[in-house]
Amino acid sequence: MEEIITEINWENFLDNYFKLFTVKKVKHESSSGITLKYEMNDIYVNCLINNNKDKILKLEFGQMVEDTRTQKTENWIKGVFKNDEPNNLTFLQTSWFGEDGESYEIKFTNFNKILISKFLQIPCYEGWREEEFYFKEFCYKIKVFTNKIQNQITLLDIGEQDIPMLTDKFDQWLRVKIYDAFWNNKKRTIKKNLVKPMTT
């Protein structure tokens, strides 16, 4: 086992946490911060910290899956650390952009290390369960279950992600209502996925 590092910042803390696993670590530094990625058994944890390493700017986890070209890519959804959510956890559609600001940030303190440890239990030790709802071949929403929370995510199409419009929220609500309607029962399928943690 590798030597434990004295924890004086978030990178030290995360490196120590993942020393219990045989993870692949990728680090990238830029003017906007330091990106750290830890990956094992198709589960990833992404973290963006400031250059002083004393504040997490965003922290998220998810599952790697094969795309149509049999290359590994991040799945539909991700778990995201958020201060104002129960258990500091919410699930969102996968995207690196959009989750910015104080709600997603957390400073380096002993108490906050406990909060982050609890957050990391899900990708590292517990896993989660997904239900993907399809209308014909179009996946329009996903329900996510953990030991602590349940989330429902309405998936946005490319246009809604790239160029948000004022009517998008209504369009998404209406789309789900129509696809969920009883007259579409035969056109609707549910794919269930049990996502195992890193420690599998």
Model confidence at 36, pLDDT cuts 50, 70, 90, reads very high
Total domains, the chain: 2
Does residue 5 lie in a domain region? no
Does residue 185 lie in a domain region? yes
Q: What is the pLDDT of residues 141-184, one digit of tens each?
A: 888 999 877 877 677 554 444 445 555 677 777 878 888 898 98
Does residue 33 lie in a domain region? yes
Does residue 34 lie in a domain region? yes
Percent of the chain surpassing pLDDT 70: 86
Residue range 75-92: mean pLDDT, rounded: 88
Q: Which of 112, 125, 121, 130 is nearest to 55 (CA)?
A: 112
Does residue 115 lie in a domain region? yes
Looking at residue 156, its pLDDT comes to 59
Helical H segments across the chain, by residue range: 10-18, 110-121, 158-162, 168-180
**Which domain-ending residue is among 80, 97, 126?**
126
Sign of CA dihedral 14, 93, 148, 133: negative
Same domain membership, residue 71 and residue 30: yes
**Which domain-ending residue is among 75, 110, 126?**
126
Question: Which segments of the chain are extended strands (E)?
Answer: 24-30, 33-40, 43-49, 55-66, 72-81, 89-93, 106-107, 128-135, 138-145, 150-154, 188-195
**Which domain-ending residue is among 126, 152, 170?**
126
Same domain membership, residue 134 and residue 119: no
Same domain membership, residue 156 and residue 85: no
Question: What is d(CA 66, CA 71) in angstroms, rounded to the nearest whole number?
Answer: 5
Sign of CA dihedral 57, 63, 68, 72: positive
Does residue 31 lie in a domain region? yes
Asked whether the beta carbons of 25 and 31 are under 8 A apart, the reply is no
Does residue 86 lie in a domain region? yes
Q: What is the pLDDT of residues 132-143, one digit of tens each?
A: 889 988 888 888
* Structural domain range at position 100: 10-126
